[in-house]
Amino acid sequence: MGTKRHKPEEIVAKLRQVEIVTAQGKSIAEAARSIGVSEQTYFRWRAEYGSMKTDQVKRLKELETENARLRRAVSDLTLDKLILTEAARGNY
């Protein structure tokens, strides 16, 4: 059975649900179970998304995607430059 991947917006909403349930006096373990995740997952999510709002999470994911794309572009251009400098020296 595969694992379910939660979208960042869903994670933020579930973290807010846990806050509400714990404010009502239930333990974190019960609150995590009520949203359908383990305590470990809850704490990992809280460390990553705890202080963010939904729009901030969307923007963060967009920036991470753009950053990965730009890193690939820079590495490709660096490799092209190295190849061209070797060819210009006549060391091919």
User: What stretches of 1-92 show up as alpha helix (H) in DSSP?
Assistant: 8-23, 28-35, 39-49, 54-89
Range of the domain at 34: 1-52
pLDDT at residue number 24: 94
* Per-residue pLDDT tens listing for the chain (92 residues): 567 788 888 999 999 999 999 999 999 999 999 999 999 999 999 998 888 888 888 898 899 999 999 999 999 999 999 999 988 887 65
Q: What is the pTM of this model?
A: 0.64
In this structure, the answer to whether residues 10 and 32 fall within a common structural domain is yes
In this structure, the answer to whether residues 40 and 30 fall within a common structural domain is yes
Question: How many domains does the chain contain in total?
Answer: 2
In this structure, the answer to whether residues 47 and 79 fall within a common structural domain is no
CB 5 within 8 A of CB 53: no
Separation between Cα atoms, residue 86 and residue 92, nearest integer Å: 7
pLDDT at residue number 91: 60
In this structure, the answer to whether residues 46 and 65 fall within a common structural domain is no
Separation between Cα atoms, residue 40 and residue 38, nearest integer Å: 5
pLDDT at residue number 2: 60
In this structure, the answer to whether residues 59 and 46 fall within a common structural domain is no
